[in-house]
């Protein structure tokens, strides 16, 4: 499991792990809990171009459908096939095995710190 205090966050409840020019993206435990039991995940194709702030995928649960937003502009370099096969990973390990996409970016926008995200969700 990743140390959540070292991640960056979006107001749309995604977490971002920056390693060089690659951003690994997932949804937060808070978002996973609000969604309920995840039963289906749709992700963008590897090689596709994404624009920060736009919808790039869907996360369906027994309660609702959530949208996955790209936190950065860039090219999708990987998707988590494990999550496609076992969507429940989004609930059981949102900061580890439940990651969703990796995006190669040129410029990182301003994202929320752990403290800022915690304040946003009231924790």
pLDDT tens for residues 25-57?
999 999 999 999 999 999 999 999 999 999 999
Q: Could you identify the residue written with the tokens 């998707």?
A: 79
Contact criterion met (CB below 8 Å) for 5 and 114:
yes
Two tokens, residue 89: 């990973």
What's the pLDDT at 15? 97
pLDDT tens for residues 77-110?
999 999 999 999 999 999 999 999 999 999 999 9
Question: Looking at the 3D structure of the chain, how many domains does it have?
Answer: 1
DSSP letters, 9-42, are E-TTSEEEEEETTEEEEEE-HHHHHHH-SEEEEE
Contact criterion met (CB below 8 Å) for 44 and 104:
no
DSSP β-bridge partners for residue 103: 23, 76
Contact criterion met (CB below 8 Å) for 115 and 86:
no
Contact criterion met (CB below 8 Å) for 111 and 16:
yes
What's the pLDDT at 2? 67
| CATH code of the domain containing 92 | 2.40.50.100
Domain limits for position 98:
4-120
pLDDT, mean over the chain: 94
What's the pLDDT at 1? 53
Please state, in angstroms and rounded to a whole number, the distance separating the CA atoms of residues 52 and 21.
Answer: 15
Nearest to 43 by CA among 28, 64, 27: 27
Is the pLDDT assigned to residue 111 strictly greater than 90? yes
């Amino acid at each position: 499991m990743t140390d959540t205090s070292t991640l960056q966050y979006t107001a749309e409840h995604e977490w971002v792990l920056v390693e060089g020019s690659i951003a690994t993206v997932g949804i937060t435990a808070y978002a996973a809990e609000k969604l309920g039991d995840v039963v289906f995940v749709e992700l963008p194709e590897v090689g596709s171009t994404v624009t920060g702030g736009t919808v790039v995928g869907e996360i369906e649960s027994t309660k609702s459908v959530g949208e996955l937003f790209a936190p950065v502009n860039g090219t999708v370099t990987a998707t988590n096939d494990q999550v496609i096969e076992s969507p429940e990973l989004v609930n059981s390990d949102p900061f580890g095995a439940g990651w969703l996409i990796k995006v190669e970016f040129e410029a990182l926008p301003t994202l929320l710190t752990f403290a800022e995200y915690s304040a946003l969700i009231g924790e």
